[in-house]
Each structure stands twice: as C-alpha cells, then as structure tokens.
C-alpha cells in the first residue's frame, strides 16, 4: 500500500510519498502557477477527497490574493479553476482572506470549505466552485464572533457528525475562533451553538453560550468529539445536550492548537500541548505528544523517536492528522519545519522531513 502526505507550509506546498510509511520521498515546493506568484505563498488548508483522490490546496499570493488549487494526480501537477472558486457574494460586503479547512461529505463531489472571515462554503463539483452557506453567515451571533490572533475563521468542519452514535447527512459540526462550536441538524438551514462546559478565559462570562475560541475539534469513529480550546481540553459525546467535559488532567498544560482522534478507537486521541496563550512554545522546551487511551481520563507522553534536545516549534491547529488506514498512521509537522509520522501501531515516531518552512497543515491518505 502506498501513502501520500500533503504538507502545507508558510512558504509553499510539499508532498511526501512512500510504499510502507517508513521511507518517504519528499518533494516540493510544488509549482502551483506558471509565474510562481502563488507557489511561495502560505498554504493554510489542504484536503484529499476520499471519493476522487483529488487534492485541494488553499494557497495565496501576498500580491494577488487567495485561491484554491487542485491536483488530480496526487500532487504532481496543479491547476486553478478558471473563476474564483471561493468568493463572497456582493451583498455580503466581505472578501475572502483565505481558506482554513476542507472537508468532504458522503456524497461524491461534496466539499466544504471553512474560511476567513468566519464563513462556511459548500461545493457540489469537487471544489471547482463553492457557494456560501447563507444561514450560518446570516446567523444573529455573527456580529459577536471576532478574530483571534490567527484571524477570524471557521477552521473545523465535520460533516455528518453531531456526537456519539448520531450521524446524518444533514448534520454538521463546525468550530471557529472566536465563536465556538455550532451544529446543524437540517442540512445547514439552522445552526445552534453547542459550547456548554467550554471556558472562555478572555470573556467576563467564563462559560458563555457562544464566543469561545475553540482551536480544533476532532471526531472519533463513533462521533465522539475531542476539543482543544484556548485553554481547556474537552471531550463530548453530546455537545448540544450534556455538553463538554474537561479532560486536561494529566496533560502538562491545557493550551494547544491541534487534536487528533484515532479513527478506529473512540477512546484514543492525540494532543500537542503548548505552554500558554502567552508562550507559544512546547512545555519544558521539548517536542511532546500526549496520548489518551481512556477517553481523556488519563494521558501519557508519546515521544519515542522525537528529539530529546531543546525544541521550540509547536504544532498548529491543522498541523496533525491521521491517514485513517485500518492500522492508522499519525502525522504532525511543527513550526520549525519538521514532520514526523507514527505508523507502527502508534508507539514511536520517525522523521518524514526536516528543515521545511513552518508547517501549517498536513493531511494523509492511502493511495
């Protein structure tokens, strides 16, 4: 079986391929446009369509703006739709800053894009064109959503998922900074906040109905959700009902950006601690990953194979992923340009690439 790892960095798009998830052939930065004005831009979002194998990259030129590029040959060649694939309608008086997230629906061709400013777009043609999800844009809470330090964006999009045991093509969970978690049960016509139990240390009401800065939500195989918040780590089987339970006990800090759920074991998840909102460095200046196998009841270091010397690069919110394979591999990249994989049942890491530009996002799949 061959595997593809797509790596978005602050300076372009890279890929890594192999046959056994051990020896990686890294290539890039890939040439997105003939003039290379976008090839050196930041790539905040990548996605691999499970139906078609198409790879999407949300890239941008500092001069000429953001766009979406696609590859139908696993990253060898890249193309841009003839018309701007994601564009705000004229009446919104908004313009796209960047795409932060791609997610794929059960129907072939259905792609969702979470973007900055806070909005969700939907494509039914595999990402060639997108339409604004109006009900979320028109939500009365939107005036209260404001940008965190990274920008105001919807950066988690989980189609079909509401919580444990409840999966529906009309359901979706999204998360945003700031704003928090919102869910729809009717195909996007109505959206309700689902943040009960999640803190907002930057607001007078520390547990508001909405307004939290939820950095990332990851869904396990049965829909159980794990969230890394702007201070606070949470788990929920029913966000809209029972709410969220704090599960940071056992982690060195409650701050971070990334969270990855095991695609086969609902009680297993990976977390990537960061010191605090003021100090975006790894705790103790050591590159560390933590793992729970009991649904957040306890965490243990998961660091075999990682550097033991001082390390200063953290993992950003989309800088970690799983390939979703039967025996899943896990991957993460750091702001200091190192990419690691754990593919031996999850017990140890090996380096995929080093000295890349700072890693913003990774996505992996069997090909």
Q: State the number of binding residues for another protein (CB under 8 A).
A: 25
9 binds another protein (CB under 8 A): no
Closest CA to 215 of 155, 274, 260, 275: 155
Region from 64-72, 172-180, 215-223, 240-248 binding another protein, contact rule CB under 8 A? 64-72
Q: Which helix (DSSP H) or strand (DSSP E) does residue 316 occupy?
A: none
Decide whether 80 or 207 has the Cβ nearer to another protein: 80
Strands (E), 117-152: 119-123, 131-132
Subset of 22-61 contacting another protein (CB under 8 A): 33-37, 39-41, 61
Decide whether 132 or 274 has the Cβ nearer to another protein: 132
77 binds another protein (CB under 8 A): no
Answer whether 58's CB lies under 8 Å from 103's CB: no
Rounded to a whole number of angstroms, the minimum distance from the CB of residue 97 to another protein is 9
Pick one of 65, 151, 221, 305: the residue that binds another protein (CB under 8 A). 65
Region from 13-21, 93-101, 170-178, 359-367 binding another protein, contact rule CB under 8 A? 93-101
Residues 6+ apart with CB under 8 A from 235: 224, 225, 226, 227, 244, 245, 247, 295, 296
Strands (E), 119-165: 119-123, 131-132, 153-163
Pick one of 16, 32, 43, 96: the residue that binds another protein (CB under 8 A). 96
Angstrom distances, CA of residue 66 to CA of 41, 82, 209:
9, 14, 33
Rounded to a whole number of angstroms, the minimum distance from the CB of residue 129 to another protein is 13
Rounded to a whole number of angstroms, the minimum distance from the CB of residue 206 to another protein is 37
99 binds another protein (CB under 8 A): no
Q: What share of the chain is helix, strand, coil (3-state, %, to 5)?
A: 5, 40, 55
SS3 of residue 141 by DSSP: helix
Residues 6+ apart with CB under 8 A from 110: 104, 122, 123, 124, 159
Q: Length of the chain, please?
A: 367
Angstrom distances, CA of residue 337 to CA of 57, 98, 216, 233, 348:
18, 21, 21, 25, 19
Region from 82-90, 118-126, 156-164, 265-273 binding another protein, contact rule CB under 8 A? 82-90
Rounded to a whole number of angstroms, the minimum distance from the CB of residue 322 to another protein is 31
**Spatial distance between the Cα atoms of 235 and 248, rounded to a whole number of angstroms:** 10
Pick one of 23, 25, 64, 146: the residue that binds another protein (CB under 8 A). 64
Answer whether 196's CB lies under 8 Å from 245's CB: no
Site map 126..145 versus another protein, x via CB under 8 A: --------------------
11 binds another protein (CB under 8 A): yes
Decide whether 67 or 292 has the Cβ nearer to another protein: 67
Rounded to a whole number of angstroms, the minimum distance from the CB of residue 12 to another protein is 8
SS3 of residue 41 by DSSP: coil
Pick one of 51, 82, 234, 293: the residue that binds another protein (CB under 8 A). 82
Decide whether 94 or 275 has the Cβ nearer to another protein: 94
Rounded to a whole number of angstroms, the minimum distance from the CB of residue 60 to another protein is 10
91 binds another protein (CB under 8 A): no
Rounded to a whole number of angstroms, the minimum distance from the CB of residue 250 to another protein is 42
Long-range contacts, 36-39 (Cβ 8 Å, 24+): 37/61, 37/63, 37/64, 38/64, 38/67, 38/69, 39/12, 39/13
Decide whether 36 or 138 has the Cβ nearer to another protein: 36
Return residues touching another protein (CB under 8 A): 11, 33-37, 39-41, 61-65, 67, 82-84, 87-88, 90, 93-96
């Amino acid at each position: 079986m061959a595997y593809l790892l797509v790596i978005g960095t602050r300076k372009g798009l890279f890929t890594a391929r192999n046959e056994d998830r051990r020896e990686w052939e890294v290539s890039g930065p890939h040439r997105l446009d003939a003039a290379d004005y976008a090839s050196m831009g930041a790539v905040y979002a990548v996605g691999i369509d499970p139906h078609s194998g198409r790879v999407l990259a949300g890239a941008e030129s500092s001069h000429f703006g953001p766009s979406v590029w696609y590859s139908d040959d696993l990253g060898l060649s890249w193309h841009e739709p003839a018309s701007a694939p994601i564009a705000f309608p004229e009446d919104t008086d908004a313009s796209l800053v960047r795409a932060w997230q791609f997610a794929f629906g059960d129907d072939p061709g259905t792609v969702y894009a979470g973007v900055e400013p806070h909005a969700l777009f939907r494509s039914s043609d595999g990402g060639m064109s997108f339409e604004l999800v109006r009900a979320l844009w028109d939500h009365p809470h939107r005036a209260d959503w404001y940008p965190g330090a990274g920008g105001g964006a919807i950066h988690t999009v989980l189609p079909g998922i509401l919580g444990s045991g409840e999966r529906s093509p009309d359901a979706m969970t999204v998360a945003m900074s700031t704003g928090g978690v919102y869910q729809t049960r009717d195909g996007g016509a109505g959206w309700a906040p689902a943040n009960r139990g999640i803190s907002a240390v930057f607001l007078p009401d520390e547990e508001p109905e909405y307004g939290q800065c939820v950095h990332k939500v990851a869904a396990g195989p049965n829909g159980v959700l794990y969230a890394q918040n702007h201070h606070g780590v949470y788990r929920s089987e029913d966000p809209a009902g029972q709410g969220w339970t704090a599960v940071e006990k056992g982690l060195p800090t409650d701050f971070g950006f990334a969270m990855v759920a095991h695609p086969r074991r609902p009680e297993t998840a990976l977390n990537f601690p960061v010191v605090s909102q003021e100090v975006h460095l790894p705790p103790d200046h050591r590159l560390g990953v933590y793992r729970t196998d009991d649904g957040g009841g306890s965490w243990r270091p998961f660091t075999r194979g990682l550097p033991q010397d001082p390390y200063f690069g953290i993992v950003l919110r989309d800088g970690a992923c799983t390939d979703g394979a039967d025996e899943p591999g896990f991957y993460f990249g750091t702001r200091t340009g190192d990419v690691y994989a754990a593919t031996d049942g999850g017990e140890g890491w090996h380096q995929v690439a080093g000295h890349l530009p700072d890693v913003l996002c990774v996505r992996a799949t069997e090909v």
